[in-house]
């Protein structure tokens, strides 16, 4: 029996096959135009920024060297090995900075060298921060626990590292550093914020500290605190938009303090859920009152009195 020859079916305008072919051609053309657009954008940005993975690795490598609590090494480094590791981290920082060199007024080598000259001072301040967190939290069993496990300490560490680059006018990179801490901890501190010694963040989730915030020594803040700006207009960039918090202030959870002219006087206590847009003098206690009624379920004759 003779096998019939296969029929060749040509697409007919209006048929399903023809329509699918037209759709494919349309998608291919759209992809081509989109690819050309991306190419032009990439060509207009010749400076190659470092990947986020390399930035995250620098943050982790540095903190693991400074604090063995976070290192996977089972043996302590010798002083010579630590010096060699610092040299490697110096090389890594210069690689991260080179992508920003076109926007920097100073050389990569100068900025990196100054950063590592300042590192001993940053290291000392971080130990003071850890001590303040440990002393301020009854649940903390040791400094080792604070350094190893507390998100507030990691966020403070990263901000102090980023701030040392920010004050040297390094663009973008400091923000990428603090955004890594934001991603890990839920604590958002701008690298430009000025923060004094013995800073304590307890719990920390939802904390926001703006760019021009000034925080004194011995300050303690809880989760959900916002130190923000009254206005977010772009024209205010470069101006003092965020509050000043003087020494030894405690700010409890979910308090919101706004405005560049707002000053919280030293040794004050700001209660939870407070909304502040004006200054308070030193030694103030600021709190929000609310009416709370409690009654026994056994008193069935009591009228229901819900307030929403």
Q: pLDDT truncated to tens, each residue of the chain (308 aa)?
A: 566 665 555 555 555 655 667 777 778 888 888 888 888 887 776 566 778 899 999 999 999 999 986 666 656 678 898 899 999 999 999 999 987 766 778 899 999 999 999 999 999 999 999 999 999 999 999 999 999 999 999 999 999 999 999 999 999 999 999 999 999 999 999 999 999 999 999 999 999 999 999 999 999 999 999 999 997 777 777 789 999 999 999 999 999 999 999 999 999 999 999 999 999 999 999 998 877 777 776 655 555 443 33
pLDDT of residue 17: 58
Q: Torsion angle of alpha carbons 25, 26, 30, 31, nearest 10°?
A: -30
Please report the domains of the chain, with CATH numbers, ordered by start residue.
49-186 (1.10.3130.10), 206-294 (2.160.10.10)
What pLDDT score does 308 carry? 34
- Rounded distance, CA 254 to CA 275, Å? 9
> Which residues on adjacent β-strands are paired with residue 286?
270
133, 176, 124: which is closest to 154 by C-alpha?
133
- Bridge partner list, 189: 209
**What is residue 237's DSSP assignment?**
T
DSSP character string of 178-208: HHHHHHHHS-EE-TT-EE-SS-EESS-TT-E
Q: Give Cα 49 distance to the centre of its chain.
A: 19
This prediction's pTM:
0.81
Token look-up 């690819």 returns 35
- Residues 222 and 254: their CA atoms lie apart, in Å, by 8
In b/e form, how buried is each residue of 155-165, taking b as 16+ CB within 10 angstroms?
Answer: bbbbbbbbbbb
In whole angstroms, what is the distance from residue 257 CA to residue 251 CA? 10
- Please report, to the nearest 10 degrees, the dihedral formed by the alpha carbons of residues 258, 260, 262, 268 taken in order: 80
Query: Is residue 160 within 8 Å of 215, Cβ to Cβ?
Result: no
Residue 307 is predicted with a pLDDT of 39
């Amino acid at each position: 029996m003779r096998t019939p020859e296969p029929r060749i079916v040509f697409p007919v305008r209006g048929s399903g096959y023809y329509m699918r072919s037209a759709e494919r051609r349309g998608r291919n053309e759209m992809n081509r135009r989109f690819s050309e657009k991306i190419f032009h954008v990439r060509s207009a940005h010749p400076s190659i920024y470092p990947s986020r993975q390399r930035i995250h690795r620098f943050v982790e490598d540095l903190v693991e060297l400074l604090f063995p609590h976070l290192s996977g090494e089972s043996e302590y480094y010798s002083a010579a090995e630590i010096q060699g590791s610092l040299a490697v981290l110096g090389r890594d920082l210069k690689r991260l900075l080179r992508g920003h060199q076109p926007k920097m007024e100073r050389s990569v080598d100068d900025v990196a060298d100054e950063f590592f000259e300042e590192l001993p001072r940053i290291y000392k301040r971080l130990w003071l921060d850890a001590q303040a967190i440990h002393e301020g939290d009854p649940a903390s069993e040791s400094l080792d626990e604070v350094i190893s496990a507390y998100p507030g300490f990691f966020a403070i560490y990263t901000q102090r590292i980023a701030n040392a680059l920010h004050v040297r006018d390094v663009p973008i990179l400091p923000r990428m550093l603090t955004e890594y801490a934001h991603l890990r901890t839920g604590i958002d501190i701008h690298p430009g914020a000025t923060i004094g010694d013995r800073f304590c963040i307890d719990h920390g989730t939802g904390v926001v500290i703006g760019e021009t915030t000034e925080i004194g020594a011995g300050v303690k803040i809880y989760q959900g605190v916002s130190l923000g700006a009254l206005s977010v207009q772009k024209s205010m960039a470069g101006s003092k938009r965020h509050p000043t918090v003087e020494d030894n202030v405690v700010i409890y959870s979910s308090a919101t303090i706004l405005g560049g002219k707002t000053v919280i006087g030293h040794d004050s206590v700001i209660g939870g859920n407070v909304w502040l847009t004006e200054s308070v003098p030193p030694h103030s206690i600021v709190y929000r009152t609310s009416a709370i009624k409690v009654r026994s379920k056994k008193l069935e004759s009591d009228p229901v009195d819900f307030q929403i």
